[in-house]
Structure 1
């Protein structure tokens, strides 16, 4: 990677500067060593020159002294003395330098006399002074010193010869002797002089080699040290570059290096590659502006600017870019740092949304500082209270709020909130106009990093309407929605309170249980809407008869209760009971209908009939049931015997639920004979309950209980399935085919699955529809209302015949006789009992028979018990009859024997009594 800008050049310079210094030092050292070698060479040259001069001077001194001994020439003596003086001067200079006792001028004169080159003088002085003991120099100096005495003796010979020649001459013998001495001295000095020369040369060679290897070693050491330093510096540079690349690539922000001149990307870090979804190779060379969705025109260096970075597959990322201009060597480069601001944008968006939500929220919001001074309020608060944000400045959050009782908000609330808990509750808030309203207040805090309270946040809601709704709901929860009277729970609560007061004050409490007589007929005849409006008028009449403190309630359907507290005796309630019976028996005008009702009332009192609300209501209910059973439009005071009857009914209801599962029901069949021939043409299926302990329970006792429990439809379905199964069994036994009538209850007749259920039963047993006759009372047909004609049409299409049962006891509507599927009309036994003596019964029966004949309907008389009744009905045109005159209800096997007398007899309890013929 290129070094980027001044920030990278400075560290690189700092890295390379020691290397440059080391190189300079190495070069300087080598130059110094080279210069030292040159100086040593010059010094060696001086030594060689000095050796040459000294050797020549010594040889010449011997020659001059020998010539002077032969001829006594003054010139030879002068030449000797000159050369001998040079030798003495060199010896003095040598010893003075080695001893260190000399002056620079004296040594200079010695070197100048020896004709030593000036450049070598200082080096020779230095070497003699400090390195006289080094190899070869030491031997050369020793050879030089060994000639000192001989040179001195040469001077002595010269002085002796000079003295002799001055004295008049020297004898040949003396000359010979002196020359012998000279020769002996020369022979002694000559090898030492040569040894001096050789050692000086060897010293020069040795020192030259030493200097060469020293310089080479120094060069090698310097080179090795420099290379080692260079390696360490390069490793440091490489490590710095790797660390820079690591930091460059691991930076959380994207970094892009851009050529300033062309605008193209030179390098990117890993983050930039990841964010753009492109590899570094794909990014390098592309234009920097291509990375962004928005134009970058106008962005200034060093200033951050927001933009949108383009990613892979159309993804985008909100970013902030900041650029700076740097240099890569001489190349201007723009370094761009791209920072992801997604979180900041999201926080800003959340903050904006929160601000907008705070401004638009329906609840009022107040923000107060740590001293509870209001600093901010939303628009909803101003709308609720009338206080603007400016009007709240300087006010405390709790200045306009009190507890519902008017007390200031206690410090415990603020202590709890400051401790980190939220507080919610109802307060009374004051508006700007001075009015007040109930408010639901929620308090919480915003804390800093040290968990200190910085702000209080209050969220408030006007709960005036909610409290009104709550009161309405509470009233609805405690009162009957139709009549406005107390419901069961509220009535029981009032009753319990009245009993508690009566217990303290030794008074009596009376509970009345009122049930409307025959209210079901009103619903069936006029519709449930009329029935509901009638119940409202009944509640109004009951309420008008009550005194202050009395409570009326409706606990279900057409059942009402009345609480009369603070009586002396239970019997004191007789007066109000009588008034209620009288007012409820008066006609009611509902819409255009005048409806006459009556009521049965049961009376129970504390403490005689019970010591709690449930007991009083239950006992009053039992007394009402007794009144309804015995008389109607009457009242009864509770007695324990009534409760026993009630318990019996409850027990009967519990046992009835298990009767179907335990297969305790059975069918018996009562024959229907053709009056003219006495032939059995049909049977009617009658339900019996064979109780394991009570024995046979008649339908009149358990059918009303089954209807109240909602079990009647299941019982009807069982009767239909069992009847169809029995018809199939008779057919398989060869019994002549007869019609079987089945009674249908109002609840099942009105069920959506009624027709389909009958059709499936017939098909599953492969029975013809004409084998079945459905007996339906007028009240059952009334339950269907407008659907009666459609149901009858469906039955007629299936071929199933219908008989109207108990005709004449209900509304005797002629419209029902014209409905499809109606083929039979059954005359109720109440009109048969008085025949033929009772003229009214005879007239009614005759009219019914004449009407049925004109409509083409088959008539069936019920309850025929005498021959006179049989004869009258036969003469009047009745087709069929049922009754004990012909047969009691029979078990299936008895019917089979009756219709097939040739089959083996079956023991029977009853015997068929055919009518006598006249």
Structure 2
């Protein structure tokens, strides 16, 4: 503290001496009146405080007693007893004083227990003892006494309730009755308590007026003695006071004048009052230390509480001055909220920098590292000390190995942020792909002052992207390219051959009797055979040749850089011989053969689609005529036209003669085992040939344009069957219907779906349209339009055999696509095949992120079921649960049990 002496003290004393003489005569009276006023105010404060506590205790006792009556909680009874004790303590003190024979100590203790301010107790006792007939006091005491009996009734009620709850004999009617009594007692007590409060307040007001006029008279007398003398003196010092007042009240900081001995505030400026939300008069007499929430006016830094309850950080400077014989501390309190906020922001920024998961580098304008967080050290292995004052781009290059170009830094300096992939070097010399974002912190002139780089390791992300890209362009079972990728590479080879005047050949390879392998053994055996076939095909090719799988057992081979298509003959013959050798599949040794068709550019077509189609036609001729043979495409290869026309006629007759029928394969909910859907599968009962498999007549129907009528028949028949099950009051199912590309792309398809739903009366959400990837691809630009129309109609779409054809992730974003069917080729290898596990988990994760419903088909073992359940697949189909069944068998499975349960049941698995 700094001590200051008032240099003009003696001069001011001489100027004020006449006023002092004039005031000597009245100082005794003023002191006496002041003491009386202070004692009276304290007494009034005690009255008001006691009245407030008494009223509060009365109200709370009623509330607690009512709560105890309603719930029987001991805490409520304890609250009643506590508040009732306050009422009784005040009542005893009142009655003791009225008796005239009492102990002041006992009365003081009783009022203290009632919460009366200790300083006010003697004055209250004096008034109750000698002035109980004073206006308003008399009425207040009368109202107070009028509720004594009601308060006693509350105590009796509490005793009854306590006894009843303790004995457990209280009935609901007893509780209602007791609460009614409590309410009546409260109705009697409450208006008298209010009247008591009103009389006390009026009495305080009356005494205040008496004190006011008394002091006013004394002040008027004193003023008449020294007013004239003070006039000239005040005129002289007015200027000094005004300057001080202006400086005092207009200060930006809060200023308190504090008595050094007592620590109480003598005066405060407007800023202090506004900060604390009270008037300067209210601050006067308060202890300055009590205003500080933490710290003190002597510690330098602390906090004041704002009117809204928030804290204001402040810094205090004090100086000691002498006013007459009194030492006064002048405390200047300065708001340091901005400084504290900046320090907090710096602390948060520092902690955020240290805890952020990505690596963060801060460099100066020369790109030299000033600091880096722990994540960057963990990522690169470089400690901050080793990086400091080195340029952070020294250890980073573009993905192709070139250094970061100057143009990049020019763009950043111009105001752009840069985000891109770089190759980063670790401390051990290894490198990894890194995603780096660079931004700038600028000075007042807009020049780069610091660079902030945020980096993260994207090794796993790049691997996932490459794996998805590979999945989109390669068959997951065989590793060969998909049809779309094969067509793309074929188109590139044709373009190259056109420039170089060369040739390109396409081989279409189809296994003979592959369906027999699937039917005789299992799909797992069939998949294993396909993988071995793919290996043998690849073994016959040169590095620049391409092999692809475009169907179940259909493969294509691209031979580029040829002089003529005949050069493909040697590769085709070698491939036939390789595929004719036995396949050792562990438990089985299988013999298969293949039929190969060959088409070449430029003789047999000028584009990839035409070459593949013509090679397919040549393969068909080889399979039809001989098998285990090869054929070059010729324009005359239409020898099967008559057979196809005959089959077309039989197909048309089959529709007319009602030779088609449907079977239904259940789809179960993986978690619960409930049958939630069925898939309608068409079968043909030929009058001469018996049952004809769909694999035989569906392709012919598609090529001849009959598939649309067949699909429409399947749709209507399935919907009618669903209606029959609903009428039989079976649990509701979802009906899945397979639709070919020819039907889906036809202009009348949507109208047929809408008409079938309306005529039969099936809600659109109960119908699921299943499309294969190849069907979606064939639609081309009309895909999104058709999908949007189905979506608006309310019919969902499932992508069937996902991952076996083209695996374009763009399909999953089409409108109406709500289901994703995982092909049996991936399910078969679960859970032992690591590739199938990875692909299946990836597809389930993709579907989950896109909010698609997943259905796995071809589930034959419980191991596959358990894996798919853990992976998050929602539904499953397969022989483990049920083979395709006729309608009556489905109805038997879904029929309610004798218990009346509507729960859908699970077809028992066929365990070995």
| Range of TM-score over shorter length | 0.3 to 0.5
Give the structure-2-normalised TM-score: 0.45
Which of the pair has the greater relative contact order for Cα pairs under 8 Å at 6+ separation?
A: 2
Larger-gyration structure (1/2) = 1
